[in-house]
Amino acid sequence: MAFKLSFNKKLLLLTSSIVVFCALILMGLTLKQYAKLYQDNARSDLEALSFNSAQELVQHMARLPVDDLGATTLLLKFERYKNIKLAQVYDNEHNLTSQYVNTELFLSPEVQPKQYTKQEMIPGTTATKGELVSVTNIGEGVYPLGHLVLVLDYNSVINAGVDAFLFEILPWVIGLLLILLWLTRWAQTAFISPLLKLSTLVNTVSETKDYNLRYQVKGDDEIAQLGYNLNNMLHTINQQNIQRAQRDKVLKKQQQSLEFMANYDGLTELPNRKLFQELLSQELAHNVRNNTELAVLFIDLDDFKTVNDSLGHPVGDLLLQQTAVRLRAQLRDIDILARFGGDEFVIVVSNLEQQIEAIVIADRILQSFKQSFKLQHWEFNSGLSIGIAFSDRNKVSISELLANADLAMYRAKNTGRGNYAVFESSMQNNQHRRLIIVNQLSYALANDEFELHYQPKVSPIHGVIGFEALLRWRSSFEGMVSPAEFIPIAEHCGKINDITRWVINQGFKELNTINKKLHKDMVTSFNVSAFDISNKDCIQYIEEALKQSKLDPSSINFEVTESAYIENFDKASTFFNKLIALGCDISLDDFGTGYSSLSYLTQVPASTLKIDQQFIRNMFQSEQERLIVDSIISLAQNLGLQVCAEGVETKEAFEYLASKGCQQIQGYYFAKPVPLCELPAIVNEINTKIEQINAPDALKSP
Ligand code: C2E
Ligand code: CA
Ligand code: CA
């Protein structure tokens, strides 16, 4: 690993190196200059000493023989000169006569001093390595008595000088170095540490991604400017990050809400049909693995449309939300609850050991809906119908399972609301029959397969006062088909308007014949469905048929069920008012089965209430049903309305109703619905019967 030096240390190293280098060069140069100066001084000193000594040696060399001792004694004075290494006296024949050796300057005593040759004996001073050698003639220049050689060792002097010099200068150099180091350190704090702080900041930001960090700008130099720019950059990045985060948040929210919208129902926040299918297929797979049973509960609110139309959509929405809450409360966490749209909910209960477990849940749900709903300032009951279908240990597909539960739900609805029904394969046959009827209805209209039967309405006092026109279908393929079967199908497949049109046209034509045959105007009632009420053309063709038939409008009555007008109250009001304007009358059919809201009753311009036949049928078995009959009759009387009881099959029922003041009686007790041709005979028969009943006891046949 490469040894990494911080910028700070590098700077310190560089400055110190430069200082040391410069100091060394300076010292070297100084020393060199010092050596040169010393050499020059030493040369002149040596030359002066040589000259003087040569003068003094003359007296000793001038003797014959040469005074060696005197010369040697003289040479001894050089002991005083520490740097004189060697002093030699040579005679004229170039023999060494005396010498002085400074043993201290010789490295070892074995080293013999050099003897100079004749050739070297040239007066003057020469510098050799570390030595100055001075040769001086003793005596007259032309005939010298000998030569004096003086050797000065300036190496040691210079070395000592250098030592002294160094000793003197080094503290300064070191001091200077320390000052320089301190200066560098100061420069570092002053200039480098802001840079270091900047660098640390950049590192921290890049590691932590915290763009809120800032550099503390001090002063206004280049570094401060750099810090300021860095802060600006961080601010910009931070702003961009915040914007990006906000945009991401919005995008994420949008994506989540899109996902939610695609998979959940916005009102109840339950899974929608799409998500439900996915969840169901997962559950089915799970049940295959565990070999357990799975049930689908198809739920439809009873009369939801009525709540929506009469109490308003906000209440309808609240009801759906509360329904979701109530349903959820009856389920286990693992059960799936979804909204299929409208007022349809679906539940999946899986991991069932036995089918009865699903039925228990359905029962519990129905019980929980017995409690009334308190929404806004309304309090009302809302029931539901449940269809249950089982996966039969996974023998059916998802679509079959759902279709089966749906069929079962329709069965539950038809057997009276607030019920559940378990799917049976016979229901599929019903479905098949429905399809056949749908297909055959158009054929029936085009081929005159319909006919009208009339059932007399009898006044306990006056006898027959009118009829109810009831449709009959003699299908060339299916034989006689009951209106109770084909009318609901015609309503759902959009054929009912054509059928009503046929009934009106045919009925109005036949009424003329009836009136003529009976020699008096009877009031005949025709049934209209909810779908006729919302059909704009209906009033128009009734008006046209009236004009064409020239019938007295007051002899025409229209029977409308309670649910039909409550479900479309506004449209029904317009429809009724137009009928009244035409001069016709209105009866409220099957009264007592639906909402029977008194406030509606007072707003509907009806002339007659028809008590539903289920109350009449059970009148003598159930005290409660009889009380209902009594109440409807007294209610009608209080409102000034006529009452018609239908489904009267027994004398007992007739007498009871007559005694209660019921003005119109309709039922098998007097006659079944019969074709036009049979009417005159039936009417006579009934009238005779009434006369009999009303005759004074004495006239009555036994
Ligand atoms: P609804 O309007 O309540 O008609 C009365 C039904 O009760 C008729 O059945 C009639 O035959 C039956 N009925 C009368 N008296 C008795 C009785 O004493 N005992 C029993 N068990 N039944 C009695 P029907 O003719 O089968 O009609 C069934 C339903 O079909 C009608 O009920 C009505 O809702 C509908 N419907 C019949 N004709 C028409 C029509 O022309 N247009 C429309 N929209 N619906 C019709
Ligand atoms: Ca009717
Ligand atoms: Ca009826």
Cis upstream peptide for 65 (omega within 30°): yes
- CA 529 / ligand 2 centre spacing (Å): 10
* Cα atoms found within 13 Å of the Cα of residue 480, Cβ hemisphere only: 7
Q: Which of 470, 471, 563 has most ligand 1 atoms within 8 Å of CB, for mutation?
A: 470
Question: Average pLDDT in the 212-222 region?
Answer: 87
Q: What is the C-alpha separation between 451 and 471, in angstroms, rounded?
A: 6
Specify the ligand 1 atom closest to the Cα of 500: 42
> Which residue owns the Cα nearest ligand 1 atom 16?
647
Residue of the CA atom closest to atom 45 of ligand 1: 527
- Minimum CA distance residue for ligand 1 atom 7: 647
Q: Which atom of ligand 1 is nearest to the CA of 528?
A: 44
Average of per-residue pLDDT across 301-305: 87
Name residue 116's amino acid. Answer: Y
Nearest C-alpha neighbor of 590 from the set 655, 645, 671: 645
pLDDT band at residue 699 using 50, 70 and 90 as cut-offs: low
The two tokens of residue 286 are: 């799970």
Every domain of the chain and the residues it spans: 10-105+117-162, 209-263, 273-423, 435-680
**How many Å from the N-terminal Cα to the C-terminal Cα in the chain?**
134
CA-based torsion, 638, 640, 646, 651: positive or negative:
positive
Kindly give the distance from the C-alpha atom of residue 613 to the centroid of ligand 1, in angstroms, as a whole number.
Answer: 10
Q: Which pLDDT does position 594 carry in this prediction?
A: 60
- Does domain 10-105+117-162 fall under CATH 3.30.70.940? My reply is no
Distance (Å) of CA 20 to CA 30, 31, 170, 439, 596 = 15, 16, 11, 115, 116
- Of 214-228, 434-448, 633-647, which gets the smallest average pLDDT? 214-228
According to DSSP, residue 606 is labeled -
Half-sphere exposure of 614 (CA within 13 A, CB side): 9
The residue behind tokens 């050499």 is 39
Starting from the CA of residue 646, give the closest ligand. 1
Write the CB contacts of 399 (distance below 8 Å, at least 6 apart in sequence).
Answer: none
- Per-residue confidence (pLDDT) for residue 103, from 0 to 100: 83
Angle at 190 between CA 188 and CA 196, to 5 degrees: 60
Q: How confident is the model at residue 186 (pLDDT cuts 50, 70, 90)?
A: confident
Strand, coil or helix: what is 115?
A: coil
Tell me the fold of 273-423. Alpha-Beta Plaits (3.30.70)
Q: Tell me which of 19-33, 282-296, 563-577, 588-602 is least confident.
A: 588-602
CA 170 to chain centre: 78
175's tokens? 């001091």
Most confident listed range (8-12, 82-86, 276-280, 414-418): 276-280
Ligand 3 midpoint to CA 157 (Å): 150
Looking at the chain, the whole-number percentage of residues with pLDDT higher than 90 is 48
Whether residue 372 has pLDDT greater than 80: yes
Q: Whose CA is nearest to atom 41 of ligand 1?
A: 471
> Which fold would CATH assign to domain 435-680?
TIM Barrel (3.20.20)
The DSSP call for residue 698 is: G
DSSP 192: I
Amino acid at 43: R
Burial class (CB in 10 A: 0-12, 13-18, 19+), 369: buried
The pLDDT assigned to 508 comes to 96
Burial of 1 (0-12, 13-18, 19+ CB in 10 A): exposed
Q: Give the nearest ligand 1 atom to 669 CA.
A: 18
Q: Whose CA is nearest to atom 13 of ligand 1?
A: 647
Task: Please report, for residues 323, 392, 401, 484, the alpha-carbon distance to residue 422 in angstroms, rounded to integers and kept in the order given.
Answer: 21, 12, 12, 23
Average pLDDT over residues 69-87: 88
pLDDT of residue 118: 85
State the distance from the centre of ligand 1 to the C-alpha of 496, rounded, in angstroms. Answer: 15
User: Which range is least confidently modeled, 18-27, 377-386, 480-489, 583-592?
Assistant: 18-27
The Å distance, Cα 502 to ligand 3 centre, comes to 20
**Per-residue confidence (pLDDT) for residue 4, from 0 to 100:** 63
**pLDDT value of residue 183:** 84
Mean pLDDT over 641-663 rounds to 96
- Do 270 and 343 touch, CB atoms closer than 8 A? no
Ligand 3 centroid to 457 CA: how many Å?
12
Beta-sheet pairing, 642-646 with 608-611: parallel
User: What digits encode the pLDDT tens for the residues 682-692?
Assistant: 999 999 999 99
pLDDT at residue 430, rounded to an integer: 80
Return the ligand number nearest the Cα of 473: 1
Atom of ligand 1 nearest to the CA of 452: 41
Tokens of 153: 């060792």
Please name the residues in contact with 335: beta carbons below 8 A apart, sequence gap of 6 or more: 347, 348, 349, 350, 361
Ligand 1 mean position, distance from CA 396 (Å): 39
Work out the average pLDDT over 661-682. Answer: 97
Ligand 1 atom nearest residue 668's Cα: 18
Give the sheet arrangement for strand 344-352, strand by strand: 336-341, 344-352, 293-301, 384-390, 420-422
Digit-coded pLDDT (tens) for 524-553: 999 999 889 988 899 999 999 999 999 999
CA-nearest residue for atom 2, ligand 1, is 527
CA distances from residue 165 to 59, 144, 156, 540 in whole angstroms, order as listed: 43, 43, 14, 137
Nearest to 514 by CA among 558, 569, 551, 542: 551
Distance from the alpha carbon of residue 686 to the mean position of ligand 1, in angstroms:
20
Q: Which ligand is nearest to the CA of 590?
A: 3
* Ligand 1 pocket test target in 527, 610, 666, 686 with most atoms within 8 Å of CB: 527
Sign of CA dihedral 384, 387, 393, 397: negative
Distance, CA 453 to ligand 1 centroid (Å)? 10
Ligand 1: residues with CB < 6 A are 455, 470-471, 482-484, 487, 503, 527-529, 559, 589-590, 613, 646-649, 666-668, 673
pLDDT score recorded for residue 702: 55
* pLDDT-based confidence at residue 177 (cuts at 50, 70, 90): confident
pLDDT at 595 over 90: no
* Cα 244 to ligand 3 centre (Å): 69
How buried is 594 (Cβ within 10 angstroms: 0-12 exposed, 13-18 middle, 19+ buried)? buried
Note residues around ion ligand 2 (Cβ under 5 angstroms): 527, 559, 589
Atom of ligand 1 at shortest range from CA of 483: 30
Least confident of 173-177, 328-332, 554-558: 173-177
- 563 pLDDT higher than 90: no
pTM of the model as a whole:
0.54
Among residues 219, 214, 239, the alpha carbon closest in space to that of 229 is found at 214
Proximal ligand: closest to the CA of 586 = 2
Split at pLDDT 50, 70, 90, the class of 567 is low
Cα 492 to middle of ligand 2, angstroms: 19
**pLDDT band with cut points at 50, 70 and 90 for residue 598:** low
Q: How far is the CA of 678 from the centre of ligand 2 (A)?
A: 20
β pairing state of 344-352 and 293-301: antiparallel
Contact predicate 591/611, CB 8 Å: yes
Nearest ligand to residue 672 Cα: 1
User: d(Cα 131, Cα 155) in Å, to the nearest integer?
Assistant: 7
Closest ligand to Cα 564: 1
The whole-number average pLDDT for the span 100-115 is 81
Which residue's alpha carbon is at the smallest distance from atom 23 of ligand 1? 647
Given a contact cutoff of 8 angstroms between Cβ atoms, the answer to whether 526 and 559 are in contact is yes
Q: Whose CA is nearest to atom 32 of ligand 1?
A: 484
Q: Can you tell me the distance from the alpha carbon of 81 to that of 152, in angstroms, rounded to the nearest whole number?
A: 9
- Does 1 score more than 50 pLDDT? no
Compute the mean pLDDT over every residue in the chain, rounded to the nearest whole number.
89
Stretch 405-426: mean pLDDT, rounded?
88
Token pair of 62 as six digits: 């001038």
Q: What is the distance in A from the centroid of ligand 1 to the CA of 470?
A: 6
**How far apart are the CA of 646 and the centre of ligand 2, in A?**
9
What confidence category does residue 199 fall into, taking pLDDT thresholds of 50, 70 and 90?
Answer: confident
In this structure, are residues 610 and 646 in contact, taking their beta carbons and an 8 Å threshold?
yes
Closest Cα to atom 42 of ligand 1:
527
Residue nearest atom 25 in ligand 1 by C-alpha distance: 470
Which of 441, 487, 506, 535 for a ligand 1 pocket mutation test, highest count of atoms within 8 Å of Cβ? Answer: 487
